[in-house]
Amino acid sequence: MENPIVGHFVTVTIFSLMLAIGVNHSFRQVTYLASQPGLLVRSLLSVIVLVPGIVGILLWAFPLPPAVATGLAVLAAAPGAPLTTKRIELAGGDLQYAVNLQLTLALLAVVVTPLILSVYFSVFDLVIEKVSPLDVARQVARVTFLPVIAGFLVRRFLPGVAARIGNPLRVLANILLIILVLVLVVFLAIAPDLRAMLNLGRPATMAIVLMVALSLAAGHFLGGPTQEKRAVLAVASIARNVGLALFIAGLTDYGQKFVPTLLTYMILGGLLGVPYAVWSKRRVRLRGDA
**Domain membership flag for residue 63:** yes
- Asked which of 7-16, 19-28, 40-49, 125-134 is least confident by mean pLDDT, the reply is 125-134
Output 12 or 279, whichever has higher pLDDT: 279
Report residue 10 CA to chain centroid gap.
14
**Domain membership flag for residue 288:** no
User: What pLDDT does 238 receive?
Assistant: 95
Entry pTM: 0.81
Give the Cα separation of 288 and 267 in Å (integer). Answer: 31
Q: What does the pLDDT look like over 212-249, one tens digit per residue?
A: 999 999 999 999 899 999 999 999 999 998 878 877 87
**Domain membership flag for residue 188:** yes
**Domain membership flag for residue 290:** no
CATH of the domain at 138: 1.20.1530.20
For residue 208, what pLDDT band results from cuts at 50, 70 and 90? Answer: very high
Q: What does the pLDDT look like over 11-24, one tens digit per residue?
A: 788 788 888 888 88
Average pLDDT along the chain: 84
**Domain membership flag for residue 37:** yes
**Domain membership flag for residue 92:** yes
**Domain membership flag for residue 52:** yes
Q: Are 276 and 234 in contact (CB under 8 A)?
A: yes
Query: Count of domains in the chain?
Result: 1
Output 13 or 280, whichever has higher pLDDT: 280
Cα distance between the two ends of the chain? 53
Give the Cα separation of 79 and 243 in Å (integer). Answer: 10
Q: What percent of the chain has pLDDT over 90?
A: 30
Give the Cα separation of 113 and 260 in Å (integer). Answer: 20
State residue 140 phi and psi, 5-degree precision: -65, -40
**Domain membership flag for residue 159:** yes
Give me the domain span that covers residue 140: 4-283
pLDDT > 60? residue 192: no
